[in-house]
Amino acid sequence: MPVSGTAKSQDLASADALLTLKDLTLRFKGQTNDVVHSVSLRVRQGEVLCVVGESGCGKSVTSMAIMGLLPGKATQISSGKLSFLAQDWDLATDCLPTEVRGREIAMIFQEPMTSLNPSFRIGDQIAEAVQRRRGNSRTEALERAEVMLQRVGIANPKQRLRAYPHQLSGGMRQRVMIAMALANDPQILIADEPTTALDVTIQAQILDLIRDLRDETGMGTLMITHDLGVVAEVADTVAVMYGGQVVEQGPVAEIFNNPQHPYTIGLMSAMPRLDRPGERLAIVPGTVPTISNMPEGCRFRTRCAFATAACAQRPKLRDVASEHEVACHFAPLETHVKVSA
């Protein structure tokens, strides 16, 4: 029998939260199922929150919804409350005003090769973001752009300002994107798979850079990724998404050492480990159902080894440890399932 524990969600409006998203639910118009269902996230000052999950689980859509970048004609947000800068926005009816976007909250994208305007010099592009938000003169803005390029570790920033995007490598372009996003000292950086398109050395450099800048400025970071290696490296807290829902979230050590949701457990055991060479990797059986074929109740139950009839009821997120919450009827697993070593 599943524990009928009170479905208590974290106190999302805790004092040190920089940005909280509450109960975001949205669907693409013309579909009958929610792409993102009741997702709540919180980013604290100086914290890196990693949202992990496989392709199509709603990670990127969630971040786009926060930024207000979803095309209104194709998506329908039925609920979602965003609290940021001591203000609340109801995402179902309005979105972040353009004054906030780019100044207090910035975003970097997955694909550095296509995220810069090919027709303009990178200096002009960074300066544009600065001028727009701070009302500086062009010269001041270009100076700021130069400082930013220096900060993100680009050599010869003064000359690079005059480079066009096609003259830069992928890693450099991602640095430029970061420089552009951080030029106005945002409080929140949303990074949508910032390292997916880069090779591992550059990836490590970019992650170091994000971490350094976080330490320097105290900004909160919401990083979307499907790479658990990245999570282990940068995250303070982790939210695991599956089928448009957060199935487990908590501090990074908790998620890695004490995963409670069967999906998280599956993800963890699918990761190659240096300390257990030669061991076969576990797999999560099956594939993610399409949005229109999502099962009622727990969306993971068609692939879950522990699924029972009770899983036809949608489980709610509830605490299993301090700040560690899981959306599974059987959590914490130790008390329900005899786990053989």
Scan residues 97-126 and list those touching other proteins (CB under 8 A).
98-103, 106-111, 114-120
Report, in Å, the least distance between residue 92 CB and other proteins: 20
Helices (H), the chain: 59-67, 122-134, 138-151, 157-160, 170-182, 200-217, 228-234, 252-257, 262-269, 333-336
Residues 87, 159, 290, 308: which binds other proteins (CB under 8 A)? 159
Q: Give the pairing of strands 318-321 and 36-44.
A: unpaired
Nearest CB to other proteins, comparing residues 181 and 238: 181
133 binds other proteins (CB under 8 A): yes
Query: For residue 333, how far is the Cα from the chain centroid?
Result: 26
167 binds other proteins (CB under 8 A): yes
| Total binding residues toward other proteins, as defined by CB under 8 A | 36
Report, in Å, the least distance between residue 154 CB and other proteins: 10
Report, in Å, the least distance between residue 205 CB and other proteins: 14
Nearest CB to other proteins, comparing residues 129 and 304: 129
- Interacting span for other proteins (CB under 8 A) from 32-40, 50-58, 94-102, 225-233: 94-102
> HSE of 115 in the Cβ direction (CA atoms, 13 Å)?
25
Nearest CB to other proteins, comparing residues 105 and 265: 105
Q: Which residues pair with 248 in a beta bridge?
A: 240, 326
Residues 4, 32, 73, 293: which binds other proteins (CB under 8 A)? 73
Residues 2, 23, 44, 164: which binds other proteins (CB under 8 A)? 164
Q: Which long-range contacts (CB under 8 A, 24 or more apart) does 211-215 make?
A: 211/48, 213/151, 213/152, 213/178, 213/182, 214/46, 214/48, 214/189, 215/46
Of residues 233, 259, 333, the one with CA closest to residue 269:
259
132 binds other proteins (CB under 8 A): yes
Report, in Å, the least distance between residue 176 CB and other proteins: 11
Residues sharing a CB contact under 8 Å with residue 221, sequence separation 6 or more, in sequence order: 43, 47, 48, 49, 188, 189, 190, 191, 210, 214, 234
Query: For residue 17, how far is the Cα from the chain centroid?
Result: 16
Task: Find the farthest-apart pair of alpha carbons in the chain and give their distance in angstroms, rounded.
Answer: 68
Scan residues 185-214 and list those touching other proteins (CB under 8 A).
none
Give the binding site for other proteins (CB under 8 A).
Answer: 67, 69, 73, 98-103, 106-111, 114-120, 128-129, 132-133, 155-156, 159-160, 163-164, 167, 177, 180-181
